[in-house]
Amino acid sequence: MKLARMLSQILVRPFFKVNAGLFLFLFLLLFGIVSPAGLITYHVSLAKGILQYPAALSVVMVLWLLYNLKCVRFIRQTSEDPAYRFLCNLQAVNRRKLFLLLLAVHLQLCLPPLLYLLFVTAVAVWTGNILAAGICVLLLVLLPLLATACHVHTLHASAKNTSFIIPQKFSRFSISGKISFHGCLLSYVFHQRSFLLLVIKVVSLALLYTALVLNTSPDFRQELLMIFLPLILSAHAILVYYQVTFFESRLSFTRNLPLTFAGTAVMFIYPGLILLLPELVFLIIRAQPVISLPIAFLMYLVMAGQLFLSVSMLYCLRLRISPYIKLTGVLLFLNLLFLRFDHLPAYLVAECLLAVFLFRTGFYRYEPAPSH
């Protein structure tokens, strides 16, 4: 209890102090402009409007995702602050207990939007909109779990600079010809980011299951799938950040090796192709007859192309996490606006050309920040 109270004082109170202006503005916007007599009726009507239109519901989901990312960013900045270096001692706490402590902290950070989303979910159940209620409950549960997993990894990463040992099965280099490091980034994710990968996969497959199995409306399946797909890609963008930072911290010596541009690019494309295989298998098994097999493969390639685009953006941003989060949010909105089944081939070509151009520009110009 003492540890939970300490974390609340260190992390929760400063968060609300820093964002007091934002919360005051939202409070006045949602409650200050409405007369007290019609307050409940106003918010019930607003909740019904959100639930009735998929576009409005998708905007709410995106805002909920961005708010969780804001909390992740705040915890990360706090743990990196020299004044709060003592937080690295939390690595001595049992990992399960630490996860529960940070989950409690994250739920306190998310309390204002969490309460309103619970109200929207209650309205969805009351009106009999079970699909929308299921989507809300899914995001209310999964996004805080994913954010808490990021908190745990952030605190452990700030506590120690863990050296990475490449497993023997991934460290066999071919003597003749080029040296292949394609398995190194994938092995890093499986060994050092396994819990985060598990949470992301649970979120991803749960969203696909909701869109294609729980959703009983045939006309709404494709539209809901196109809403969830950008959210899945945004979740995987977290893994991209960890892969690139690991590469620059542990595998930067490969820049001195005689690797072609294509070989270097494949080093980052290969993990995305492997990590997205569960989604491809799920689409092949459960998506028909909603989408055809060629469309499923096209969606898989579009997702892999977007992960490579995230790598390219990260290098152009010099591995700075704050602009990367903002640009990932922009890409999320663009996907929600323009990603459609009939545009998949053109979308794939456009994002691949952009990713190759940005990667060629950013990768070879990147220089690590000087250490002070």
Tell me the pLDDT band of 182, cut-offs 50, 70 and 90. low
Find all residues with CB under 8 Å of 137, minimum gap 6, and list them.
121
pLDDT at 222 over 80: no
Query: 247 and 321 in contact (C-beta within 8 Å)?
Result: no
Instruction: Give residue 308's pLDDT.
Output: 93
Between 219 and 133, residue with greater pLDDT? 133
Model pLDDT, residue 175: 32
Confidence band (pLDDT; 50, 70, 90) for 90?
confident
pLDDT tens digits, residue range 18-69?
888 778 877 877 777 667 777 788 788 888 888 887 777 877 888 888 888 8
Question: 142-151, pLDDT tens digit by residue?
Answer: 888 888 888 8
Q: By C-alpha distance, which of 324, 315, 162, 299 is closest to 238?
A: 324
Predicted confidence at residue 248, as pLDDT, reads 87
Distances from the Cα of 251 to the Cαs of 141, 166, 181, 184, 235, in angstroms? 36, 11, 9, 9, 24
pLDDT at residue number 354: 93
Phi, psi of 312 (to 5 degrees): -65, -45
Report pLDDT digits (tens) over 228-279: 888 888 889 888 998 898 888 888 777 777 778 888 888 899 889 989 988 8
Q: How many CB atoms lie within 10 A of CB 282?
A: 17
What does the pLDDT average to over 4-31? 81
The two three-digit tokens of residue 123, written as one number: 């309205």
**Which comes out higher in pLDDT, residue 288 or 16?**
16
Quick one: which of 29, 202, 9, 199 has its CA closest to 112?
29
193-219 pLDDT, tens digit each: 887 888 888 888 888 887 777 766 666
Give the residue, 190 or 360, on which the prediction is more confident. Answer: 360
Structure tokens at 17: 């102090």
Q: Which pLDDT score, from 0 to 100, does residue 250 have? A: 83
**What is the full DSSP assignment across 300-320?**
HHHHHHHHHHHHHHHHHTTT-
**Given a cut of 80, is residue 345 above it in pLDDT?**
yes
Average pLDDT over residues 81-99: 77
Q: What does the block give as tokens for 63?
A: 């805002």
Asked whether the beta carbons of 42 and 118 are under 8 A apart, the reply is no
**pTM, two decimal places:** 0.59
Give 320's contacts (C-beta < 8 A, 6+ positions apart): none
Backbone angle region of 25, left / alpha / beta, with phi > 0 → left and psi within -120 to 50 → alpha: alpha
Segment 272-290 shows an average pLDDT of 83
Mean residue pLDDT across the chain? 80
Position 171 pLDDT exceeds 50: no
pLDDT at 130 over 50: yes
Paired tokens of 142: 């999964």
Q: Could you tell me what percent of the chain has a pLDDT over 70?
A: 88
**Virtual torsion, Cα 54, 56, 59, 65, nearest 10 deg:** -70
How many angstroms separate the CA atoms of 220 and 223, rounded? 5
In order, the DSSP letters of 75-104 are HHHHHHSGGGGGGGGGGGS-HHHHHHHHHH
Is 24 exposed, middle or buried (CB count within 10 Å of its CB: 0-12, 13-18, 19+)? Answer: exposed
Distance CA 253, CA 27 (A): 52
- Whose tokens are 């899914």? That residue is 138
Q: Indicate whether 172 pLDDT > 80.
A: no
H or E, element range at 219:
helix 218-250
How many C-beta atoms surround the C-beta of residue 364 within 10 A? 11
Helix (H) or strand (E) holding 278: helix 277-286
Local confidence band at 11 (pLDDT 50, 70, 90 cut-offs): confident
